[in-house]
Amino acid sequence: MDYTSVMPAMIDQAEKDLLHTYNRYQVVLDHGDGGYLFDADGKKYLDFMSGIAVFAFGYNDPRYNGALKAQIDRIIHTSNYFYNESTIRAAHRIKAVSGMDRVFFTNSGAEAVEGALKAAVKHAYLKDGRRDHQIIAMEQSFHGRTYGALSVTGNTKYRLPFGQMTGDVQFARLNDLESVEKLMNEKTAAVILEPVQGEGGLIPATEEFLKGVRRLCDERGIVLIFDEIQCGMGRTGDFFAWQKFGVKPDIMTCAKALGAGVPVGAFLMTEEMGQSSLTAGDHGTTYGGNPLAGAAINAVLDIFEEDDLVGHVREVAPYLEEKLSALTEKYPFILEYRGRGLMQGLVFDRPVGPVIAGAMEKGLIFINAGPEIIRFLPPLNVTKEQIDQMYEILVSSIEEAFC
Phi-psi region for residue 193, left (φ > 0), alpha (ψ -120 to 50) or beta?
beta
Break the chain down into helix, strand, coil percent, rounded to 5: 45, 20, 40
Phi-psi region for residue 263, left (φ > 0), alpha (ψ -120 to 50) or beta?
beta
**b/e map 168-202, b = 16+ CB within 10 Å:** ebbbbebbebebbbebbeeebbbbbbbbbbbbbbb
Question: Does residue 210 contact residue 245 with C-beta atoms inside 8 Å?
Answer: yes
**Whether pLDDT at 2 is above 80:** no
**Whether pLDDT at 366 is above 70:** yes
pLDDT tens digits, 144-194: 999 999 999 998 888 888 877 888 999 999 999 999 999 999 999 999 999
pLDDT score recorded for residue 386: 98
Answer whether residue 219 is part of any domain.
Answer: yes
| C-alpha to C-alpha distances, 323 to 153, 329, 337, 368, nearest whole angstrom | 32, 10, 10, 18
pLDDT score recorded for residue 161: 87
In 223-308, which ranges are continuous DSSP H helix?
Answer: 271-275, 291-307
Question: Does residue 101 contact residue 157 with C-beta atoms inside 8 Å?
Answer: no
Answer whether residue 67 is part of any domain.
Answer: no
- What letter represents residue 281's amino acid? G
Tell me the average pLDDT across 290-295. 97
CATH code at 347? Answer: 3.90.1150.10
**Whether pLDDT at 201 is above 70:** yes
Same domain for 48 and 133? no
Answer whether residue 188 is part of any domain.
Answer: yes
Q: How far apart are CA 353 and CA 25, in angstroms?
A: 11
Same domain for 27 and 172? no
Query: Taking Cα atoms as reference points, which of 305, 312, 330 lies closest to residue 387?
Result: 312
Answer whether residue 94 is part of any domain.
Answer: yes
CATH code at 148? Answer: 3.40.640.10
pLDDT score recorded for residue 159: 86
Q: How far apart are CA 186 and CA 324, in angstroms?
A: 45
Answer whether residue 384 is part of any domain.
Answer: yes
Name, in order, each residue with C-beta under 8 angstroms of 110's C-beta and a sequence gap of 6 or more.
143, 144, 145, 146, 149, 265
pLDDT tens digits, 298-326: 999 999 999 999 999 999 999 999 999 99
Same domain for 199 and 318? no
Q: How far apart are CA 380 and CA 166, in angstroms?
A: 36
Task: Using a pLDDT cut of 90, give the percent of the chain over it.
Answer: 95
pLDDT tens digits, 256-268: 999 999 999 999 9
Domain count, the chain: 2
Same domain for 56 and 121? no
Last residue of a domain, one of 256, 287, 307: 307
Query: Taking Cα atoms as reference points, which of 296, 260, 287 lies closest to residue 67?
Result: 296
Same domain for 282 and 365? no
Same domain for 315 and 300? no
pLDDT score recorded for residue 72: 97
SS3 393: helix
The single-letter DSSP state of residue 364 is E
Q: What is the mean pLDDT of the chain?
A: 96
Answer whether residue 355 is part of any domain.
Answer: yes
Same domain for 110 and 247? yes
| C-alpha to C-alpha distances, 126 to 115, 122, 138, 261, 306, nearest whole angstrom | 16, 6, 25, 37, 43
- What letter represents residue 258's amino acid? L
Question: Does residue 250 contact residue 267 with C-beta atoms inside 8 Å?
Answer: no
Phi-psi region for residue 169, left (φ > 0), alpha (ψ -120 to 50) or beta?
beta
Domain that holds residue 117: 75-307
pLDDT score recorded for residue 162: 87
Q: Containing H/E element for 127?
A: helix 109-128
Q: What is the 3-state secondary structure (H, E, C) of 88-119?
A: HHHHHHHHHHHCCCEEEEECCHHHHHHHHHHH
Same domain for 130 and 192? yes
pLDDT tens digits, 320-364: 999 999 999 999 999 999 999 999 999 999 999 999 999 999 999
